[in-house]
Amino acid sequence: MARGQQKLQSQQKAAEKAAKVKKQQGHSASEQQKAAQKALQHVCSICRAQMPDPKTYKQHFQNKHPKLDMPDFLKEV
Ligand SMILES: [Zn+2]
């Protein structure tokens, strides 16, 4: 009997451990998603395309919207 109980306990422990790992993985995944969203915070005001940095935004603006006035903050990039 003792052996059966031990097996049950170890199964429970394993399940707890797996749940904990799953929780941690879910947490870090959402953190990564947040970081990715933060990295793409430059959104083109014309076409809503997302850019990781102002330099890319400036190049995008020059290429895609050459006839439009560039925002002042991009001229300084
Ligand atoms: Zn654009």
Q: Which helix (H) or strand (E) holds 21?
A: helix 2-39
Task: Please state the domain count of the chain.
Answer: 2
Range of the domain at 30: 1-39
CB atoms near residue 42 (< 10 Å): 18
pLDDT digits (tens, 9 = 90+) for 16-28: 988 888 777 777 7
Look up the pTM and report it.
0.50
Do the beta carbons of residue 30 and residue 20 sit within 8 Å? Answer: no
Residues with a beta carbon under 5 angstroms from ion ligand 1: 44, 46-47, 49, 64
Average pLDDT for the chain:
85
CA of 62 to the centre of ligand 1 (A): 9
CA of 58 to the centre of ligand 1 (A): 9
Tell me the average pLDDT across 40-63: 92
27 & 59 share domain: no
Q: What pLDDT is attached to residue 64?
A: 98
34 & 1 share domain: yes
CA of 37 to the centre of ligand 1 (A): 18
7 & 21 share domain: yes
35 & 52 share domain: no
34 & 47 share domain: no
> How is residue 3 written in tokens?
């052996």
Rounded CA gap, 15 and 52, in Å? 40
Q: Which helix (H) or strand (E) holds 43?
A: strand 42-43
CA of 4 to the centre of ligand 1 (A): 66
1 & 35 share domain: yes
